[in-house]
A and B are shown apart, each in its own frame.
Chain A
Amino acid sequence: MSANPQNAYPSAVPVGRRTGVRANVFQGKPASSVTTFPSHPIAEVVVPKVALDAISLSYKATSGERLLALDNISLEVKPGEFLCIVGPSGCGKSTLLHLIAGLNPQTSGKVLVDGAPVSGPGTDRILIFQELGLFPWLTVGGNVEFGMKMKNVGKAEREERVQYYLRLVHLSKFRDSYIHQLSGGMRQRVALARALATDPDVLLMDEPFAALDAQTRDLLHDELERLWSETGRTIIFVTHNVREAVRLGDRVVLMTFRPGRVKQEFSVNLPRPRQMEQADVARTAGDVLDCLRDEINKSLEAEYADEKIR
Chain B
Amino acid sequence: MKKFAKQVIFYSALLGIWTVLAKLRIWPPYLFPPPWGVGHALWDGFADHSFWIGIAVTMKRMLIGYSLSVVLGMILGLAVSSNKFLEETLGGLLVSLQSLPSICWIPLAVLWFGLTEKAILFVVLMGSLLSVTIAMEDGRKQMPKIYGMAGRNLGASGFRLFWSVLLPASLPFIVNGMKQGWAFAWRSLIQAEMIFLGLGLGQLLMMGRDLSDMSQVIAVMILIVILGYMVDGLIFRTMERRLQEKYGLTPA
Determine the chain A residues whose CB is within 8 A of the CB of B169 once the complex forms: 135, 137
In the complex the two chains form, is A137's CB within 8 Å of B168's CB? Answer: yes
Interface residues of A in 41-84 (CB under 8 A from B): none
- Which of B32-40, B58-66, B149-157 sits within the interface? B149-157
Q: Does A136 contact B (CB under 8 A)?
A: yes
Rounded to whole angstroms, the CA-CA distance of A194 and B155 in the bound complex is 12
Q: Does A198 contact B (CB under 8 A)?
A: yes
Query: Which of B146, B153, B248 has the most chain A CB atoms inside 10 A of its CB?
Result: B153
In the complex the two chains form, is A180's CB within 8 Å of B245's CB? Answer: yes
In the complex the two chains form, is A123's CB within 8 Å of B165's CB? Answer: no
Determine the chain A residues whose CB is within 8 A of the CB of B160 once the complex forms: 150
- The answer to whether residues A133 and B152 also contact, given A180-B245, A180-B246 and a CB cut-off of 8 A, is no
Rounded to whole angstroms, the CA-CA distance of A146 and B149 in the bound complex is 14
- The smallest C-beta distance from B58 to any residue of chain A, in angstroms, reads 34
Determine the chain B residues whose CB is within 8 A of the CB of A179 once the complex forms: 248
In the complex the two chains form, is A147's CB within 8 Å of B245's CB? Answer: no
Q: Does B252 contact A (CB under 8 A)?
A: yes
Determine the chain B residues whose CB is within 8 A of the CB of A122 once the complex forms: 155
Q: What total of chain B residues lie within 8 Å of the partner, measured CB to CB? A: 21
- The answer to whether residues A147 and B246 also contact, given A129-B150, A131-B146, A137-B169 and a CB cut-off of 8 A, is no
- The smallest C-beta distance from B161 to any residue of chain A, in angstroms, reads 9
Q: A126-138 interface mask toward B, CB cutoff 8 Å, 1 = contact, 0 = none? A: 1101011111110
Q: Does B164 contact A (CB under 8 A)?
A: yes
Rounded to whole angstroms, the CA-CA distance of A270 and B58 in the bound complex is 77
Q: What are 15 contact pairs spanning A and B, CB under 8 A?
A: A103-B149, A103-B153, A123-B154, A126-B153, A126-B154, A133-B147, A133-B153, A135-B147, A137-B246, A147-B155, A150-B164, A179-B248, A180-B245, A180-B248, A194-B154
Rounded to whole angstroms, the CA-CA distance of A133 and B153 in the bound complex is 10
In the complex the two chains form, is A198's CB within 8 Å of B247's CB? Answer: no
Determine the chain B residues whose CB is within 8 A of the CB of A180 once the complex forms: 245-248, 252
Interface SS of B by simple majority:
helix
Rounded to whole angstroms, the CA-CA distance of A18 and B245 in the bound complex is 56
In the complex the two chains form, is A136's CB within 8 Å of B248's CB? Answer: yes
Q: Does A178 contact B (CB under 8 A)?
A: yes
In the complex the two chains form, is B153's CB within 8 Å of A127's CB? Answer: yes
Q: Does A113 contact B (CB under 8 A)?
A: no
In the complex the two chains form, is B155's CB within 8 Å of A133's CB? Answer: no
Rounded to whole angstroms, the CA-CA distance of A6 and B160 in the bound complex is 36
- The answer to whether residues A135 and B156 also contact, given A103-B149, A129-B146, A129-B150 and a CB cut-off of 8 A, is no
A121 is contacted by which of B146, B153, B165, B247 (Cβ under 8 Å)? Answer: B153
- The smallest C-beta distance from A104 to any residue of chain B, in angstroms, reads 9
Q: A101-142 interface mask toward B, CB cutoff 8 Å, 1 = contact, 0 = none? A: 101000000000000000001110011010111111100000
- The smallest C-beta distance from A72 to any residue of chain B, in angstroms, reads 26
In the complex the two chains form, is B155's CB within 8 Å of A123's CB? Answer: yes
- Of chain A, the residue at the smallest CB distance from B168 is A137
Q: Does A151 contact B (CB under 8 A)?
A: yes
In the complex the two chains form, is B168's CB within 8 Å of A151's CB? Answer: no
Rounded to whole angstroms, the CA-CA distance of A134 and B168 in the bound complex is 12
- Of chain A, the residue at the smallest CB distance from B161 is A150
Q: What total of chain A residues lie within 8 Å of the partner, measured CB to CB? A: 26
- The smallest C-beta distance from A111 to any residue of chain B, in angstroms, reads 14
Q: Does B171 contact A (CB under 8 A)?
A: yes
In the complex the two chains form, is A137's CB within 8 Å of B146's CB? Answer: no
Determine the chain A residues whose CB is within 8 A of the CB of B156 once the complex forms: 146, 150
B155 is contacted by which of A129, A134, A151 (Cβ under 8 Å)? Answer: A151
- The smallest C-beta distance from A139 to any residue of chain B, in angstroms, reads 11
Q: B232-250 interface mask toward A, CB cutoff 8 Å, 1 = contact, 0 = none? A: 0000000000000111100
- The answer to whether residues A146 and B247 also contact, given A129-B150, A180-B252 and a CB cut-off of 8 A, is no
In the complex the two chains form, is A137's CB within 8 Å of B154's CB? Answer: no
Rounded to whole angstroms, the CA-CA distance of A202 and B153 in the bound complex is 12
Determine the chain B residues whose CB is within 8 A of the CB of A178 once the complex forms: 246
- The smallest C-beta distance from B136 to any residue of chain A, in angstroms, reads 18
In the complex the two chains form, is A136's CB within 8 Å of B153's CB? Answer: no
In the complex the two chains form, is A147's CB within 8 Å of B154's CB? Answer: yes
List 10 other contacts, CB 8 Å, given A129-B146, A149-B164, A198-B155: A123-B155, A127-B153, A133-B146, A133-B150, A135-B165, A135-B169, A137-B168, A147-B154, A180-B245, A180-B246
Interface residues of B in 204-252 (CB under 8 A from A): 245-248, 252
- Of chain B, the residue at the smallest CB distance from A101 is B153
Interface residues of B in 148-195 (CB under 8 A from A): 149-150, 152-157, 160, 164-165, 168-169, 171
Rounded to whole angstroms, the CA-CA distance of A131 and B146 in the bound complex is 8
- The smallest C-beta distance from A123 to any residue of chain B, in angstroms, reads 4
- Of chain A, the residue at the smallest CB distance from B156 is A150
Rounded to whole angstroms, the CA-CA distance of A298 and B30 in the bound complex is 81
Rounded to whole angstroms, the CA-CA distance of A194 and B171 in the bound complex is 22
5 closest Cβ pairs, A-B complex: A133-B150, A150-B155, A147-B154, A133-B146, A137-B168
Rounded to whole angstroms, the CA-CA distance of A123 and B155 in the bound complex is 6
Determine the chain A residues whose CB is within 8 A of the CB of B157 once the complex forms: 121
- The answer to whether residues A133 and B149 also contact, given A121-B155, A151-B155 and a CB cut-off of 8 A, is yes
In the complex the two chains form, is A121's CB within 8 Å of B152's CB? Answer: yes
